[in-house]
Amino acid sequence: MNKLYTTDETSADQVYQRLRRLLIEGHYPPGSRLIEERLAQDLGVSRTPVRQALVRAAAEGLVQIFPNRGAVARSFTVDDLIEMYDLRALLEGHAAYLAARRITAEQLARMEMAATALEQSLTLTFERRQDEVHFLVEHNAVFHQTIAEAAGNQRLITMLNQIVAVPLQFRSFYWYQPDQRQISNFFHRSILNALRLGDGDRARAMMREHIFYGRDVLLQSRSAEETAASGEE
């Protein structure tokens, strides 16, 4: 079997980051078994850092670990998606409401940089589509995580970490068209402006609309993927 990685860099964190990227990009499809021996061969490392990486991936919600079955790449039904995005809208909306009263100038500056990067990405050229999508996912995460941080509620942050599925974000951004990204950028600007003004009600309302729009794009992309897959059969 050809190794996906041949580097000698084998620290636990490096192995986790490689595995995380493969899971996010769908190299291991949702529902597939993640056998430690195969992963070790793919990543060019021993099984010990792979085992540690799987535990971290499970904590992030990328993987599910079952007794007597081992690790499985997390899969999502349509009902799962609707439920998760309903919860995200509720929790992130509340986070935005709380953040409006507590956000600092440094946090606003961080969000400004993320929002600007997402806007400028429409005119940037990337070597691979995957690189572009990772860029979008990472800057989007900075924007949203800063709001959660500014809310100052650790229980809320823990709950959000449990329901925000990065593979779903990657998939939805992969399918985003320029006009859809412009709409997403509009929501980011509206949320940021509300936070600057300390308007918690508006920040909450715009965040909820933003989350629901992302849900709709994801459901559309899922339908398109299923249609494409059925056409190949």
41-62 pLDDT, tens per residue?
999 999 999 999 999 998 877 8
12-73 fold = Arc Repressor Mutant, subunit A (1.10.10)
CATH 1.20.120.530 maps onto the chain at: 78-232
151-198 pLDDT, tens digit each: 999 999 989 987 887 777 777 888 889 999 999 999 999 999 999 999
pLDDT average, residue stretch 66-94: 90
pLDDT at 9 over 80: no
* Per-position DSSP letters for 101-153, written without gaps between them: HH--HHHHHHHHHHHHHHHHGGG---SSHHHHHHHHHHHHHHHHHHHHHHHT-
Cα gap 115→134, rounded to integer Å: 15
194-216 pLDDT, tens digit each: 999 999 999 999 999 999 999 99
Cα gap 46→38, rounded to integer Å: 10
Q: If pLDDT is split at 50, 70 and 90, which confidence band does 229 have?
A: low
Mean predicted lDDT score pLDDT of the chain: 89
CATH 1.10.10.10 maps onto the chain at: 12-73
Query: Could you name the CATH architecture of 78-232?
Result: Up-down Bundle (1.20)
pLDDT at 122 over 90: yes
